[in-house]
Amino acid sequence: MTLDPSLIEDCARRLLAAEQDVREVTKITDAHPQLDVATAYDIQDCLRGLKQAAGVRIVGMKMGLTSKPKMQQMGVDTPIYGFLGDDNAVDDGALVDTARLIHPKVEAEIAFVMRETLSGPDCDAARVLAATDYVVPAIELIDSRYENFRFDLPSVIADNTSAARYVLGSRPTSVDDLDLQTLGVVMEKNGQVVEVGAGAAVLGDPAGAVAMLVNMLAARGAVLPAGSVVLSGAITAAVAVAAGDNVLVRGDGIGTTSMRFA
Ligand code: 0L1
Ligand code: MG
């Protein structure tokens, strides 16, 4: 079911207010049970427009629900995408204020920084690799605006796929020197290893996940601009964090990145 434009804007404003006021809200489909995926992306686009109007600069995109277990849990067979603003970016090693977050969780990811603009519909991993400037390890902090992190597919798309913060490693590595599928990643919390994984956990190949993003954008008449940061999807399960925690992600041959929580 599509919604009329004023309802789309109401939904986007409600999600924006929840993020700004750091409070949970009921999922959109409680009020609009027939909400479809295309209209959910209309709400996400509206949210993006509201943030841009408030001065946020869009710096990239993210893929979500890229692992088989998470897709099975949601009963879906396609990943989802969201946008990244400069207000989501955190410096490597910086302190993140948990008072500004509802129920934060972190994921280990590989981030791509694009040298060239990519457009679909027939993008593939080879084109992504050719258009990539470099990759770095990343931590994505997700923070659903919905009660108890409970949502369905249209609701989480509207909520910008739970995007909240991210940090990138500071040592750029060319993809020419890497096998992204076998690239191993370790996540430590407070000095203990809590998650391990390899790039292939992301839809079989993180570069393939970026290609899928480009093709999904093309279906909505959009491109992935040169200079974009792309979080390609979680390699590990999401781990809850709280004030006092330190999280570090190490990627084989690509360095480390970290976030501290106050
Ligand atoms: O980045 C992600 O994979 C998260 C997507 C949204 C689902 C969630 O909040 O767990
Ligand atoms: Mg993620």
Q: For the segment 3-45, what is each residue's pLDDT rounded down to a tens digit?
A: 888 899 999 999 999 999 999 999 999 999 999 999 999 999 9
Report whether residue 136 contacts ligand 1, using a CB cutoff of 6 Å: no
Looking at residue 29, its pLDDT comes to 96
Q: For the segment 139-197, what is each residue's pLDDT rounded down to a tens digit?
A: 999 999 999 988 999 999 999 999 999 999 999 999 998 999 999 999 999 999 999 99
Looking at residue 69, its pLDDT comes to 78
- Nearest ligand, CA 107: 2
Looking at residue 1, its pLDDT comes to 66
Share of the chain above pLDDT 90, in %: 92
Looking at residue 175, its pLDDT comes to 97
Q: Are 51 and 133 in contact (CB under 8 A)?
A: no
Relative to the CA of 140, which ligand 1 atom is closest?
1
Computed over every residue of the chain, the mean pLDDT equals 96
- Of 33-37, 71-75, 224-228, 249-253, least confident by mean pLDDT is 71-75
With the most atoms of ligand 1 within 8 angstroms of its CB, the residue from 162, 210, 236 to mutate is: 162
Report whether residue 163 contacts ligand 1, using a CB cutoff of 6 Å: no
Please state the pTM of the whole predicted model. Answer: 0.97
**pLDDT tier, 237 (very low <50, low <70, confident <90, very high otherwise):** very high
Relative to the CA of 144, which ligand 1 atom is closest?
9
Looking at residue 2, its pLDDT comes to 77
Decide if pLDDT at 77 tops 90: no
Decide if pLDDT at 73 tops 80: no
Six token digits for residue 14? 């409600």
Question: Both ends of the chain: CA-CA distance in Å?
Answer: 42
Q: Whose CA is nearest to atom 2 of ligand 1?
A: 64
Report whether residue 64 contacts ligand 1, using a CB cutoff of 6 Å: yes
How is the chain classified by DSSP, letter by letter?
Answer: ----HHHHHHHHHHHHHHHHHT--B--HHHH-TT--HHHHHHHHHHHHHHHHHTTPPEEEEEEES-SHHHHHHHT-SS-EEEEEETTTEE-TT-EE-GGG-SS-EEEEEEEEEESS-B--SS--HHHHHHHEEEEEEEEEEE--SBGGG---HHHHHHTGGGEEEEEE-SS-B-GGG--TTT-EEEEEETTEEEEEEEGGGTTT-HHHHHHHHHHHHHHTT--B-TT-EEEEEESS--EE--TT-EEEEEETTTEEEEEEE-
Cα 253 to Cα 251: distance, rounded to the nearest angstrom: 6
Cα 101 to Cα 95: distance, rounded to the nearest angstrom: 13
Looking at residue 6, its pLDDT comes to 87
Please list, residue by residue across 235-255, b when 16 or more beta carbons sit within 10 angstroms of its beta carbon and e when fewer do.
bbbbbebeeebebbbbbeebb
Domain boundaries along the sequence of the chain: 59-261
Q: Which of the four CATH numbers 3.90.850.10, 3.40.50.620, 3.30.70.1400, 3.20.20.70 does domain 59-261 have?
A: 3.90.850.10
Decide if pLDDT at 127 tops 70: yes
In this prediction, residues 119-123 reach a mean pLDDT of: 97
State phi, psi for 209 to the nearest 5 degrees: -65, -40
Looking at residue 177, its pLDDT comes to 84
Six token digits for residue 53? 């109007």
- Nearest ligand, CA 230: 2
**pLDDT tier, 249 (very low <50, low <70, confident <90, very high otherwise):** very high
Looking at residue 219, its pLDDT comes to 98
